[in-house]
């Protein structure tokens, strides 16, 4: 942790960045994301096993957008998010300094995008066993069972949009769910509105999701919605050999095609 | 290795030598041919001229029995039986209501999982690769391979060899050391079922076949169909009369030719049973040669 | 508040025979927003259109639905009527109740209901139509002619003579096409070369025409008026600017035994060659697959004997980029070879030849100097059997169509044969003699009556060889289907005319449609016979379907006329049905997030990055911007945009949503 | 009770399948009346949300059809569509949305017969499957449940 602090302090002191995005202690033994603007403030910066939130999310917030340059304490999830955001023209390399941190909490120093790509490739990722088990369980169900499962799973959804708010890839200024002309997605949290909302989100994330699981963690009613995009990521990797979050120059699967894409399902 | 086998009437009667020779080479190669238990008539040329359902049900019952007996591949040496079987299978698999109806009639369910092979397909798939190690004598004769009408037609159903200029028998004979000639009557009609009812037609049609084979210097006509054989062999008197000259070219089954090359006793192959005596002698010991034939692609337009 | 007019067309009886038009009109009148509804016998007729125009004015309509045939047929007609009535022409939609309803269903309630649904769908759509202004684009007044056969030559000369620049691209080393291979032409028997060669020379000498031979189309981008074409000029291994066409190289080349393509394999040519003596340009090329130097690294005799020092072994393919406003496709045809016919021996008999080979045998410049001698032994055949419809009109061969030219050229062959071999006898097996055309039937009669060609109506079932003769077995259907056997010395198959090699790939490069036989498709079989479905690309000659010389030339002149019309204006108007990215007032600017994931899906590279800057010039946002000159309106970007910031006119999100809604929630 | 008549919505591209369906008409080939055609410029334009919208609104089956590979009027719209369909189909399969009711096809402007065939077989298949209630119900019933 000390080397992270030292790096952050130096960056601010040398005016290399205007802002450091990281964590500090919150109330009741919790950690919370924080923005540090002076070397002194960095005293409060922490990094521990509780700092798992994907703070790449804040890169799209005004405070970061307005900063001329910034640094971020970045675990592998955050690094992948940054690379994907860069691939989608949402962040420029010259503006951001990545303080790389492994899953184990070890600081690997400042990463430029090239180093971040290497880092991202070597850091383990992939689904948790329980997620895999759930996907397998659902896949084994009959058509009706699957449908009922999801209707049931979405039934507690209150459309709080925490999933959207916590997702670094959900950066649209005006989300499609807010569109009312036409009203693509019914607003009310009933079965139909919930189903379409989560389907749309899964499609939007297909080939772009970096599998951080933040949507699931932030869901107040514990909907396992991360497995929708996980399952599609898996599919996209298998079918198109395409994986998000590994490179800052990347065309997601659904913005590209090959001549040999499968078409055995087309008459 | 076990394959299903449907002899049909010819192989038990007029063409016993065909049966004998098929069995003889199968034994030599190490393949067991299992007859369909309780098999019945295939319907041959008569049924499909009289009653469609009958013509479908007769073969379908045989096929269902074969399936019941756990067979997956069925060797049908008689070209007429083979044609009926493949056509019925094709028709049933492409017409669900008809398939249902036929199942009702035969009181059995034919699923359609059987592969039906004629003799040249059987040889092409199971025998040809074993020739080099088993052949004793070179079949050093000039031969005319005669396919007739049913072995390679219709291509849409059989998807096997080329309809107009089939090659499978020629390739086998070349492998055995024969000189398979290029001739004009490979797939022309022999007169088929008119053998009995309209011998004049058979004399003319088969006459042209024999004449062309002789004219081009063939020493034997190779066949794979009992009907062709009987027309070309049994009707030789009428043929010679039509051609106005005597011919002694023997007509032998491809299985007999293979049998001869394998060194099987000629009696075991039924070569003594023919009307036109088979006097093929002076076979040289076999020496393996690379022959320069490419297997023909299925060239028909779908 | 929308005031929609609905106009149900009977199309004579084409619609009204199956759809109850008055009932549909009555039901439509009650749709929300419909202010006027009527039915009429022929909506596209003058009175029908006046009805539309008057109704718009009288009922103060804000949009119209013409319920009639396919919009692919009459959309422009009714858009014009709409404009005449004082509305924006894009406030018009067509409900297709003919092709998609009356013609494909039986009379009955279900069919009526379907027509009603289709009308309701389009009413809901048109309510959401926007008034649009046409887009103007400049026109590059240069035409590209692909293919240098007689059609291409005619098109190029006509366009050039109209005062426009032409770029001609020919795949072979010389222009001339199949016509240059013909001996004489029907029905006049004038020598093909004699009438074609002057035209070829004209092409070479016309200052408006730039000719690229031994060249192919690499890629085509852009759209009508503004195509960007890359041409691959294959390496001839000869410097065209230096070569004087003396022919020394071709004479001295030691590697002379290569099958001559121009003679269809019936003669040989050297590895460095000019395809035929009258070639334009008269510049040789080295066939790299055959040249001894390219194969073994030794020889270079041509280089030594070349006085102007024009041989360039290190020459490479060159890519030339040109900008053109219109493209004429004149790529011609090919014929089936004799190996297509198993019943005629899979091409194994040397003396069974195709029609084009016979042309070469009969040609004074051909391999036999115009004497009819058979390929196997050079003997003069005393009996020739011609087989018409070899492959054509034969569904079993996958060619259902008539190849059109064979009846006439077979008659010509019989005549030429008789003129050259007086004691020869020609037999012609045919299905029908199709000799419709000026002086055509007279010509076939001449073959029969003056030149004793024996026409036998029937097909040939088999040809085989016996004792040096070809035995042709066929049936004479006019003689009680008797079997006919002819012992011929030579057989000529009038093989089917088929699409040229590479037609499919070229069509895909140009985005023009083609039929199941790979012939290019015209935009309309009767009314737009020389246009393709892609604006600015036209077609002439046998690349469309088998055609004879006069037809090809007529079509080529038609194309030239079309292109001259296009070039008559310096600007052309394009349909404004294109995609656009949402724009709003600051500080939003747009709902576009600037992710540019739409960029790679655009086939036209029409999506650009627009920088939004504040007063001080600081970058505020990067937004997608669709160049209206480049967008062709496919809408793929619309479906890809997650924030639904892109929409496409004519097929907006609101419209499509309303259409689905109208179909099901009613 | 009369036989169940499936409601089929067809999303087709203007250049191939719409023209192919026109050809079916010009050739006077008859097919089932159950289909309603919605015209798009290109399969690339077809939004998957319109498919769920159609199901929610009571469609029992959907046909999505465009130009064969390499025939797209716009070069590559159908290739993008093909990939999108793959992913969408995978998601639907995972979420229990009945993809037997979505027929994807390529029908060219020359394939009038194929179009009639696609419509007829889809109508028959969907007729066998019965009305698609589960998705439709979401939007009509239990709205507050």
* Nearest of A43, A54, A41 to residue A82 by alpha carbon: A54
Give the separation between CA A224 and CA C273, rounded to whole angstroms: 73
Average pLDDT over residues D53-61: 92
Neighbours of chain C (3+ CB pairs under 8 A): A, B, D
Residue C384 has pLDDT above 80, yes or no: yes
Q: Which two tokens stand for residue C244?
A: 């004087």
Asked whether residue A214 is domain-assigned, the answer is yes
Q: Which two tokens stand for residue C414?
A: 């019989």
Question: Closest-CA residue in chain C for D70?
Answer: C508
Domains of chain C: 4-127 (3.40.50), 142-234+317-332+500-566 (3.50.50.60), 248-305 (no CATH), 335-498 (3.50.50.60), 579-648 (3.30.70.20)
Asked whether residue B295 is domain-assigned, the answer is no
Neighbours of chain D (3+ CB pairs under 8 A): A, C
Residue B300 has pLDDT above 50, yes or no: no
ipTM exceeding 0.90, yes/no: no
Mean of per-residue pLDDT scores for chain C: 94
Neighbours of chain B (3+ CB pairs under 8 A): C
- Confidence band of A259 (pLDDT split at 50, 70, 90): confident
- Confidence band of C293 (pLDDT split at 50, 70, 90): very high
From the CB coordinates, do chains B and D have 3 or more pairs under 8 Å? no
Of residues A62 and C209, more confidence is placed in: C209
Which DSSP string do the residues of B130-147 spell out, in sequence order?
A: HHHHH--EE--SEEEE--
Asked whether residue D1 is domain-assigned, the answer is no
Give the separation between CA A11 and CA A93, rounded to whole angstroms: 16
A34-51 pLDDT per residue, tens: 999 999 999 999 998 889
Residues of C with CB under 8 A from a CB of A: 588, 591, 593-601, 622, 640, 642-645, 653-654, 657-658
Tabulate helix, strand, coil % of chain C (nearest 5): 30, 25, 45
Give the separation between CA B38 and CA B100, rounded to whole angstroms: 22
Any CB–CB contact under 8 A between A249 and chain C? no
pLDDT of residue C346: 82
CATH number of the domain to which B184 belongs: 3.40.50.11810
- Confidence band of C401 (pLDDT split at 50, 70, 90): very high
Residue C249 has pLDDT above 90, yes or no: yes
Q: Are residues A118 and A203 both part of a single domain?
A: no
Asked if A89 lies within 8 A of C594 by C-beta distance, the reply is yes
Buried b (16+ CB within 10 A) or exposed e, D77-113: bbbbbbbbbbbbbbbbbbbbbbbebbbbbbbbbbbbe
C335-380 pLDDT per residue, tens: 999 999 988 988 889 999 999 999 999 999 999 999 999 999 999 9
Asked if B184 lies within 8 A of C462 by C-beta distance, the reply is yes
Asked whether residue A267 is domain-assigned, the answer is no
Q: Which two tokens stand for residue C307?
A: 């006085």
- Confidence band of B293 (pLDDT split at 50, 70, 90): low
Residue D144 has pLDDT above 80, yes or no: no
Domain count, chain D: 1
pLDDT of residue B105: 94
Q: Are residues A145 and A45 both part of a single domain?
A: no
Residue B298 has pLDDT above 70, yes or no: no
Domain count, chain B: 2
Q: Are residues A158 and A88 both part of a single domain?
A: no
Nearby residues of D16 by Cβ (< 8 Å), 6 or more positions away: D65, D66, D67, D68, D71, D72, D73, D106, D107, D108, D109
Asked whether residue B294 is domain-assigned, the answer is no
Residue A154 contacts residue A191 (beta carbons within 8 Å)? yes
Average pLDDT over residues D91-115: 93
Q: Are residues B180 and B269 both part of a single domain?
A: yes
Burial of residue C388 (number of CB atoms within 10 Å: 0-12, 13-18, 19+): buried
Q: Are residues B144 and B278 both part of a single domain?
A: yes
Asked whether residue B278 is domain-assigned, the answer is yes
pLDDT of residue D143: 54
Average pLDDT over residues D103-124: 94
- What share of chain C has pLDDT > 70, as a percent? 100
Q: Of chain B residues 204-223, which have a CB less than 8 A from chain C?
A: 212, 215
pLDDT of residue B163: 82
CATH number of the domain to which B33 belongs: 1.20.1050.140
Domain count, chain A: 2
Residue D44 contacts residue C636 (beta carbons within 8 Å)? yes
Asked if C396 lies within 8 A of B184 by C-beta distance, the reply is no
The DSSP secondary-structure symbol of C306 reads -
- Confidence band of C268 (pLDDT split at 50, 70, 90): very high
Nearby residues of A24 by Cβ (< 8 Å), 6 or more positions away: A31, A32, A34, A44, A45, A46
Average pLDDT over residues C297-326: 95
Backbone angles phi, psi at B2, to 5 degrees: -125, 130
Give the separation between CA C418 and CA C434, rounded to whole angstroms: 21
Strands C333-335 and C268-269: unpaired
Average pLDDT over residues B60-70: 94
From the CB coordinates, do chains C and A have 3 or more pairs under 8 Å? yes
- Confidence band of A178 (pLDDT split at 50, 70, 90): confident
Q: Are residues A116 and A156 both part of a single domain?
A: no
**Integer angstrom CA distances of residue C466 from B115, B165, B212, C463, C485:** 39, 16, 9, 10, 12
Q: Give the ranges where B116-267 is alpha helix by DSSP (H).
A: 119-122, 128-134, 155-158, 168-175, 194-197, 199-215, 226-229, 236-243, 254-262
Q: Which residues of C touch D79 (CB under 8 A)?
A: none
Residue B265 contacts residue B243 (beta carbons within 8 Å)? no
- Confidence band of A265 (pLDDT split at 50, 70, 90): confident
Asked whether residue D123 is domain-assigned, the answer is yes
Asked whether residue B300 is domain-assigned, the answer is no
How many CB pairs lie under 8 A apart between chains B and C? 24
For the ranges A167-171, C58-62, C479-483, the lowest mean pLDDT is seen at C479-483
Residue C225 has pLDDT above 50, yes or no: yes
A266: helix, strand or coil: strand
* Sole residue written with tokens 């000369």: C157
Asked if C398 lies within 8 A of B301 by C-beta distance, the reply is yes
* Sole residue written with tokens 């189909």: D89
Owning domain of residue B70: 2-117
Average pLDDT over residues B7-32: 93
The helix-helix angle for B52-68 and B96-106 (nearest 10°) equals 70
Q: Are residues B29 and B63 both part of a single domain?
A: yes
pLDDT of residue B294: 60
Residue A93 contacts residue A74 (beta carbons within 8 Å)? no
Residue D1 has pLDDT above 60, yes or no: no
Q: Are residues B100 and B162 both part of a single domain?
A: no
Query: Which of B89, B117, B145 marks a domain boundary?
Result: B117
pLDDT of residue B264: 93
pLDDT of residue B301: 40
Q: Which residues of D touch C113 (CB under 8 A)?
A: 33
C79-98 pLDDT per residue, tens: 999 999 999 999 999 999 99
B210-266 pLDDT per residue, tens: 999 999 999 999 999 999 999 999 999 999 999 999 999 999 999 999 999 999 999
Give the separation between CA C30 and CA A86, rounded to whole angstroms: 54
For residue C119, say if its preceding peptide bond is cis, omega within 30 degrees of 0.
Answer: no
Q: Are residues A185 and A222 both part of a single domain?
A: yes
- Confidence band of A29 (pLDDT split at 50, 70, 90): confident
Owning domain of residue D17: 8-140
Residue B238 contacts residue B203 (beta carbons within 8 Å)? yes
pTM: 0.66
pLDDT of residue C522: 87
Which of C70, C98, C633 is closest, CB to CB, to D41? C633
pLDDT of residue D142: 58
Question: Closest-CA residue in chain D for A158?
Answer: D144
Q: Which residues of C touch A89 (CB under 8 A)?
A: 594-596, 622
Q: Are residues A84 and A141 both part of a single domain?
A: no
Which DSSP string do the residues of A139-175 spell out, in sequence order?
A: HTS-HHHHHHHHHHHHTT-----HHHHH-TT---SS-
pLDDT of residue C629: 74
- Confidence band of D64 (pLDDT split at 50, 70, 90): very high
pLDDT of residue D70: 80
Asked whether residue A223 is domain-assigned, the answer is yes
Which of C595, C601, C654 is closest, CB to CB, to A181? C654
Query: Which of A94, A122, A150 marks a domain boundary?
Result: A122
Q: Are residues B19 and B64 both part of a single domain?
A: yes
Sign of CA dihedral B132, B134, B140, B146: negative
Give the separation between CA A216 and CA A166, rounded to whole angstroms: 9
Asked if A149 lies within 8 A of D104 by C-beta distance, the reply is no
pLDDT of residue C227: 93
Indicate the Cα dihedral angle B181, B182, B186, B187, nearest 10°: 160
Residue of C109, C521, C660 for testing the chain D interface, max D β-carbons within 10 Å: C660
pLDDT of residue A19: 92
Q: Are residues B281 and B140 both part of a single domain?
A: yes
Give the separation between CA B98 and CA D13, rounded to whole angstroms: 38
- Confidence band of C280 (pLDDT split at 50, 70, 90): very high
pLDDT of residue C521: 87
Q: Which residues of A touch C644 (CB under 8 A)?
A: 176, 179, 184
Which of A151, A240, A267 is closest, CB to CB, to D105? A267
- What share of chain B has pLDDT > 90, as a percent? 71
Average pLDDT over residues A98-122: 90
D103: helix, strand or coil: strand
Average pLDDT over residues B74-86: 94
Residue D137 has pLDDT above 70, yes or no: yes
Burial of residue D26 (number of CB atoms within 10 Å: 0-12, 13-18, 19+): middle
Asked whether residue A14 is domain-assigned, the answer is yes
Asked whether residue A266 is domain-assigned, the answer is no
Residue C413 has pLDDT above 90, yes or no: yes
Q: Are residues A206 and A108 both part of a single domain?
A: no
CATH number of the domain to which D19 belongs: 3.40.50
Mean of per-residue pLDDT scores for chain A: 90
Owning domain of residue A109: 2-122
Give the separation between CA C353 and CA C350, rounded to whole angstroms: 7
- DSSP strands (E only) in C421-542: 425-430, 454-457, 460-466, 469-476, 482-488, 490-495, 497-499, 537-539
**Integer angstrom CA distances of residue C327 from A9, C152, C664:** 66, 11, 45
From the CB coordinates, do chains A and B have 3 or more pairs under 8 Å? no
Q: Which two tokens stand for residue C413?
A: 């062959």
A212: helix, strand or coil: coil
């Amino acid at each position: 942790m000390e080397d992270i602090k030292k790096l952050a302090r130096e960056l601010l002191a040398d005016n290399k960045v205007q802002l450091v995005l990281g964590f500090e202690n919150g109330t009741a033994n919790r950690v919370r994301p924080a923005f540090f603007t002076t070397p002194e403030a960095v005293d409060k910066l922490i990094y521990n096993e509780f700092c798992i939130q994907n703070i790449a999310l804040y890169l799209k917030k005004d405070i970061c957008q307005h900063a001329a340059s910034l640094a971020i304490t970045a675990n592998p999830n955050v690094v992948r998010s940054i690379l994907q955001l860069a691939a989608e023209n949402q962040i420029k390399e010259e503006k951001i300094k990545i303080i790389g941190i492994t899953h184990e909490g070890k600081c690997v120093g400042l990463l430029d995008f090239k180093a971040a790509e290497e880092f991202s490739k070597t850091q383990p990722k992939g689904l948790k066993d329980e997620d895999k088990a759930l996907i397998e369980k659902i896949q084994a169900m009959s058509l009706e069972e699957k449908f009922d499962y999801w209707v049931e799973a979405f039934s507690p959804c209150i459309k709080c949009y925490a999933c959207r708010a916590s997702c670094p890839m959900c950066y649209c200024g005006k989300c499609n769910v807010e569109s009312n002309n036409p009203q693509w997605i019914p607003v009310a949290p009933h079965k139909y509105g919930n189903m379409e909302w989560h389907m749309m989100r899964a499609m939007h994330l297909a080939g772009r999701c970096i599998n951080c699981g933040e949507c699931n963690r932030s869901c107040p009613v514990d909907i396992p919605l991360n497995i929708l995009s996980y399952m599609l990521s898996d599919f996209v990797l298998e079918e198109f050999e395409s994986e998000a979050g590994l490179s800052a120059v990347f065309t997601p699967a659904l913005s590209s095609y090959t001549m040999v894409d499968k078409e055995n399902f087309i008459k | 290795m076990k394959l299903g086998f449907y002899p049909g009437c010819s192989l038990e009667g007029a063409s016993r030598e065909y049966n004998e020779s098929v069995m003889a080479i199968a034994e030599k190669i190490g393949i067991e041919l299992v007859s369909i238990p309780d098999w019945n008539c295939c319907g041959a040329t008569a049924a499909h001229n009289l009653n469609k359902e009958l013509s479908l049900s007769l073969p379908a019952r045989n096929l269902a029995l074969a399936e019941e007996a756990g067979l997956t591949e069925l060797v049908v040496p008689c070209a007429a039986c083979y044609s009926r079987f493949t056509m019925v299978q094709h028709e049933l698999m492409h017409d669900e209501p008809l398939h249902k109806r036929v199942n009702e009639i035969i009181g059995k369910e034919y699923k359609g999982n059987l592969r039906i092979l004629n003799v040249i397909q059987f040889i092409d798939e199971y025998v040809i690769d074993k020739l080099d190690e088993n052949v004793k004598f070179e079949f050093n004769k000039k031969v005319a391979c005669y396919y007739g009408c049913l072995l390679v037609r219709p291509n849409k159903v059989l998807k096997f060899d080329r309809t107009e200029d089939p090659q499978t028998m020629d390739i086998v004979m070349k492998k055995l050391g024969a000189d398979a000639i290029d001739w004009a009557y490979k797939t022309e009609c022999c007169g088929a079922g008119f053998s009995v009812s309209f011998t004049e037609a058979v004399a003319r049609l088969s006459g042209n076949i024999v004449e062309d084979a002789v004219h081009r210097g063939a020493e034997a006509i190779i066949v794979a169909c009992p009907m062709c054989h009987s027309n070309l062999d049994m009707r030789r008197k009428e043929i010679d009369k039509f051609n106005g000259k005597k011919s002694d070219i023997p007509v032998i089954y491809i299985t007999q030719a293979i049998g001869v090359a394998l060194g099987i006793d000629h009696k075991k192959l039924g070569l003594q049973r023919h009307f036109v005596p088979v006097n093929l002698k002076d076979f040289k010991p076999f020496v393996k040669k690379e022959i320069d034939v490419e297997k023909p692609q299925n060239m028909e337009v779908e | 508040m929308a005031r929609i007019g609905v106009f149900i067309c009977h199309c004579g009886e084409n619609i009204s025979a199956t759809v109850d038009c008055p009932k549909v009109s009555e039901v439509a009148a009650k749709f929300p927003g419909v202010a006027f509804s009527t039915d009429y016998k022929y909506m596209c007729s003058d009175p029908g259109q006046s009805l539309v125009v008057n109704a718009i004015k009288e009922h103060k309509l804000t949009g119209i639905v013409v319920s009639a045939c396919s919009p692919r047929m009459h959309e422009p007609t009714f858009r014009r009527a709409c404009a005449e009535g004082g509305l924006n022409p894009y406030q018009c939609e067509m409900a297709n109740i003919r092709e998609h309803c009356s013609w494909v269903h039986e009379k009955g309630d279900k069919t009526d209901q379907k027509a009603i649904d289709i009308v309701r769908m389009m009413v809901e759509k048109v309510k959401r139509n926007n008034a649009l202004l046409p887009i103007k684009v400049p026109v590059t007044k240069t035409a590209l002619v692909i293919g240098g056969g007689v059609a291409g030559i005619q098109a190029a000369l006509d366009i050039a003579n109209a005062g426009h620049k032409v770029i001609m691209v020919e795949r072979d080393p010389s222009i001339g096409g199949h016509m240059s291979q013909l001996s004489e032409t029907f029905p006049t028997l004038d020598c093909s070369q004699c009438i074609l060669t002057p035209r070829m020379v004209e092409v070479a000498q016309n200052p408006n025409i730039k000719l690229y031979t031994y060249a192919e189309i690499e890629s085509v981008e852009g759209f009508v008026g503004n195509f960007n074409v890359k041409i691959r000029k294959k390496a001839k291994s000869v410097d065209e600017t230096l070569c004087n066409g003396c022919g020394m190289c071709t004479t001295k080349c030691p590697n002379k035994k290569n099958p001559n393509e121009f003679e269809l394999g019936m003669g040989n040519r050297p590895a460095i060659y000019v395809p035929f003596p009258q070639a334009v340009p008269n510049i040789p090329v080295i066939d790299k697959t055959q040249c001894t130097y390219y194969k073994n690294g030794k020889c270079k005799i041509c280089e030594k004997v070349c006085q102007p020092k024009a041989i360039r072994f290190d020459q490479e393919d060159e890519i030339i980029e040109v900008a053109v406003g219109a493209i004429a496709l004149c790529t011609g045809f090919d014929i089936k070879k004799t190996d297509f016919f198993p019943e005629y021996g899979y091409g194994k008999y040397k003396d069974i030849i195709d029609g084009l080979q016979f042309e070469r045998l009969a040609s004074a410049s051909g391999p036999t100097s115009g004497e009819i001698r058979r390929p196997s032994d050079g003997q003069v055949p005393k009996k020739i059997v011609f087989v018409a419809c070899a492959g054509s009109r034969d569904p079993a061969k996958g060619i259902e169509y008539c190849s059109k030219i064979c009846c006439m050229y077979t008659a010509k062959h019989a005549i030429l044969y008789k003129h050259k071999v007086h004691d020869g006898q020609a037999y012609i097996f045919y299905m029908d003699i199709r000799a419709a055309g000026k002086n055509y039937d007279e010509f076939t009669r001449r073959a029969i009556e003056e030149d004793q060609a024996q026409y036998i109506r029937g097909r040939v079932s088999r040809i085989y060889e016996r004792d040096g003769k070809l035995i042709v077995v066929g049936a004479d259907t006019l003689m009680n289907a008797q079997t006919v056997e002819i012992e011929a010395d030579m057989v000529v198959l009038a093989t089917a005319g088929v699409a040229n090699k590479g037609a499919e790939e070229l069509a895909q490069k140009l985005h023009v449609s083609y039929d199941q036989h790979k012939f290019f498709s015209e935009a309309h079989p009767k009314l737009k016979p020389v246009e393709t479905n892609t604006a600015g690309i036209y077609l002439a000659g046998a690349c469309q379907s088998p055609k004879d010389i006069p037809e090809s030339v007529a079509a080529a002149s038609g194309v030239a006329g079309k292109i001259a019309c296009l070039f008559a204006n310096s600007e052309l108007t394009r349909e404004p049905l294109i995609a656009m990215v949402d724009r709003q007032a600051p500080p939003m600017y747009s709902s576009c997030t600037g992710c540019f994931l739409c960029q790679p899906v655009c086939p036209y590279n029409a999506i650009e990055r627009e920088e939004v800057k504040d007063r001080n010039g600081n970058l505020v946002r990067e937004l997608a911007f669709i160049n209206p000159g480049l967008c062709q309106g496919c809408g793929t970007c619309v479906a890809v945009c997650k924030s639904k910031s892109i929409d496409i006119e004519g097929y907006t999100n609101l419209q499509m949503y309303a259409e689905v809604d109208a179909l099901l929630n009613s | 009770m009369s036989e169940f008549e499936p409601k089929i919505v067809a999303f087709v591209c203007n250049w191939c399948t719409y023209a192919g369906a026109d050809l079916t008409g010009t050739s006077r080939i008859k097919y089932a009346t159950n289909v309603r055609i919605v015209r798009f410029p290109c399969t690339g334009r077809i939004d998957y949300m319109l498919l769920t919208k159609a199901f929610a609104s009571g469609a029992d089956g959907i046909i999505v059809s465009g130009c064969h590979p390499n025939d797209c009027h716009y070069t590559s719209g159908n290739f993008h569509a093909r990939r999108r369909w793959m992913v969408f189909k995978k998601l639907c399969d995972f979420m229990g949305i009945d993809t037997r009711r979505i027929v994807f096809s390529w029908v060219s402007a020359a394939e009038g017969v194929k179009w009639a065939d696609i419509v007829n077989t889809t109508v028959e298949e969907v007729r066998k499957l019965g009305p698609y209630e589960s998705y439709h119900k979401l939007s009509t019933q239990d709205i507050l449940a």
